[in-house]
Structure 1
C-alpha cells in the first residue's frame, strides 16, 4: 500500500499543473484529485491505483467539479477501461494487435515497414491507447476528442 501511495502522490503532483484548474501551490483541486484516486484505490482494491488513471480523472474533475460526481463518473469510465490497467496487459496488447491488423488494410507499406523494423507490436501506441490520447493533445482538445469518441 505504501508503494501505491508513493506512486499516486508523485503522479498527482505532476498532473496537469499547467492547466488553470490545477495551478498553484496548495491547490485544493489537486487534493481532490488525490482523494478521488485514493478512494478508487480502495473501491476497486483488486486493481487499485495504476499510473495513468490520474490522466483519465483530471478532465472529469474539471468538468464535474463536484468530488462525489467526479468519483462516480470515474468509476463508470474505469468500468469500461480497467482492463487496460491490468498487470498482464493482455487487453491492451490485444488492442495494439488490432491496430496493426487495421494498419495492414489501411497502409500495407507502413505495416510492412514496422514488421521489418521490429515495431509491429505497436508499443509506440501504448500510451495513446492507455490514456486515450490525454498527453498527446491540448487539454481542451482531449475533452472534445473524448466527447466525439464517447469515452
Structure 2
C-alpha cells in the first residue's frame, strides 16, 4: 500500500480507469493527488495576445474542471488534493511527483489518439522513462 499517489489526468475517458487502481493501492490514511497540466500557448508567436490569454485561461479552467470531476468520481472517505499546473506535461508531472514526495504515479497509457498522439507524443511514455518514482501504467480498454 502507498501513502501518497499522484494521479495525472487530461480529462480523457481513459483517465477514469485509473480510479479503481488507485483505490486498491492507497493506504487507508494515504493521500491522492489529482494533477492536470496545461500547456499554455506562447503569445509571442501569435498576433493577438488578448486572444491567446483568453485561450490559456479557458484551458486552465478546463483543467480545473477535469481534476474536480475526477475527484467527484471517487467514493467518499478518501483524502484527495487537486493541483493544476502549467508547463510541459511529462516534465511537470515528474517535477510535482518529486516536489511533493509521492511514492507512485498512476497514469493511463494514452489520453490522445491518432494524429494528436503522433505529433505530441505519448506523455505517459515520457513519464515512465524519466520518473524517479514507481509508475503504474494503466492499459486503456
Do both share a fold (TM > 0.5)? no
Shorter-chain TM band: under 0.3
More strand by share: 2
More helix by share: 1
The TM-score with structure 1 as length reference comes to: 0.23
Structure scoring higher RCO (CA < 8 A, sep ≥ 6) equals 2
